[in-house]
Amino acid sequence: MDKLAIFGGSKAIERPLKPYNSIGVEEAEAVKKVIESGILSRYLGTWSSDFYGGDKVKEFERDCEKFFNVKHAVTVNSWTSGLTAAVGAVGIAPGDEVIVTPWTMCATATAILHWNAIPVFADIDPQTFNIDPASVEANITPYTKAIMAVDIFGHPADVDSLMEIAERYNLKLITDSAQAPGSFYKGALTGTSSHVGGFSLNYHKHIHTGEGGILVTNDDEIADRLRLIRNHAEAVVEGMGITDINNMVGHNYRLGEIECAIGIEQLKKLPKLVLGRQKAAERLTGWLSSLQGLRAPIVMPECTHSYYMYPMVLDIEVLGIHRAKIIEALTAEGVTGLTAGYVNVHLLPMYQNKIAYGSNGFPWSSDICRRDVSYKKGICPVAEELHSSTYMGLSVCMHDMSEIDVKNIANAFLKVWSNLDYLRERK
Ligand SMILES: Cc1ncc(COP(=O)(O)O)c(C=O)c1O
């Protein structure tokens, strides 16, 4: 049996993984043309044809509409901007509650606070790590106006169950597919089956434009409101003849011509890039599925996974070893990008101290909202347990994994697992 690297043996992986890079000559050529045109953005924050941006913005949006099979695609300068625009566009008002998952990047929940509305955290499903519809329903109050689901790590949330709840309680469903472009849920691409959804184009996503985001919706009114919030709504509503001016505080969330030119080329590559991740992940699962006490990613029926992360769960009782020791041993073997746990957004200091704006606890302290919204440890037991002891992720989004890389990673796992007795003995 090979000696573990953590005890001075040789590493299972000698060659570091190649950093992920989806940008090539096509993007370089596209950028060159935009620069030569001299028009890097053609937006105007007034009611005119330039309200909708320049040629590349429009071309990229039409391409996205075709690719995602939706009526409207609206580009924005980050997905954080996109989420904020989405919350405003569905009509969320101060004091409204929006039920959101704790397993996400913090921006999903802060987009709610941006409108002085209140994030309420529901627990997650232990198999997919996505928001649990039963917990969503248990958290509905007379203040609830929307649900925000995230297709975390690349696996679709249970959109049918969430839409059914949304319809029954007259709520809007917003989906954050930042990590899951190109995943399918029951034959439809993620992001496209809710009232409004979308994707991040930041640099560590499957496809990117440096920074950026794409909103998708089939609802004409929501689409109009997204475009207004993106581009100085308050200055434009009059010209556009909009009479319902609630939530019409606008921003500059505009994505430029260069980014959109890159986006056009990136979108063409998305299916192949997703397929590459799926092949690597499925190969890895093939190797790891025999390991006792380790659960490889689960893909639910009628879903596909795009593997932003490769999520695993450890059975600590079966293993008899803490997660930290396993990660230490795997890292010593040369496995990079392992994470212990994920974020529990409700436990971040802003929620624990209930202070978002100013120093007096606004918005939670105000009369506009229900005062007893809780962020105490224990409100999301599944998410908290996975985070603190059993969840282990492998960040595939940062690397290009060849067949040999996958085999090497698998070998590192197999080596650690065949040395568990030694690891257990190590203090
Ligand atoms: C689930 C999720 N939501 C929102 C965001 C924010 O996206 P952006 O960085 O484009 O603002 C991210 C980014 O990592 C994310 O992973």
Q: What is the pLDDT of residues 198-237, one digit of tens each?
A: 999 999 999 999 999 999 999 999 999 999 999 999 999 9
What is the identity of the amino acid at 262? Answer: I
Confidence band of 83 (pLDDT split at 50, 70, 90)? very high
The candidate with the shortest Cα–Cα distance to 145, out of 100, 112, 97, 102, is: 97
Tokens representing 383 are 């998410």
- Residue 105 alpha carbon to ligand 1 centre in Å: 6
pLDDT at 127 over 90: yes
pLDDT in tens, 172-205: 999 999 999 999 999 999 999 999 999 999 999 9
- Which burial class, exposed, middle or buried, applies to 301 when counting CB atoms under 10 A from its CB (0-12, 13-18, 19+)? exposed
Secondary structure (H, E, C), 232-283: CHHHHHHHHCCCCCCCCCCCECCCCHHHHHHHHHHHHHHHHHHHHHHHHHHH
Pairing between β-strand 399-400 and β-strand 18-19 as defined by DSSP bridges:
antiparallel
Residue 232 alpha carbon to ligand 1 centre in Å:
23
pLDDT for residue 340: 96
- Ligand 1 centroid, distance to 19 Cα (angstroms): 20
What's the pLDDT score for residue 118?
98
Residues whose CB falls within 8 Å of the CB of residue 93, separated by 6 or more in sequence, listed in order: 115, 117, 145, 246, 247
As to burial, measured by CB atoms within 10 angstroms (0-12 exposed, 13-18 middle, 19+ buried), residue 218 is middle
Tokens at residue 195, please?
Answer: 């009232």
Whole-number CA gyration radius for the chain: 23
- For residue 130, the model assigns a pLDDT of 98
Question: Among 202, 204, 259, 266, which is best to mutate for testing ligand 1, by the most ligand atoms less than 8 A from CB?
Answer: 202
Q: How many angstroms is it from 174 CA to the middle of ligand 1? A: 14
Which DSSP string corresponds to 327-358?
A: HHHHHHTT--SEEES---GGGSHHHHTT--BT
* Residue nearest to ligand 1 atom 7, measured at CA: 79
Measuring CA to CA, which residue among 177, 174, 258 is closest to residue 213? 177
Q: Which domains does the chain have, with CATH numbers?
A: 5-20+270-341+384-425 (3.90.1150.10), 25-266 (3.40.640.10)
**Ligand 1 center to residue 423 CA distance, Å?**
37
Q: Ligand 1, atom 9: nearest CA belongs to which residue?
A: 202
Indicate which atom in ligand 1 lies nearest the CA of residue 200: 10
Ligand 1 is surrounded, with C-beta below 6 A, by 78-80, 104-105, 107-108, 150, 176, 178-179, 200, 202, 213
CA–centroid distance, residue 224 to ligand 1 (Å): 23
Contact yes or no for 310/284 (Cβ under 8 A): yes
Q: Is the pTM of this model over 0.85?
A: yes
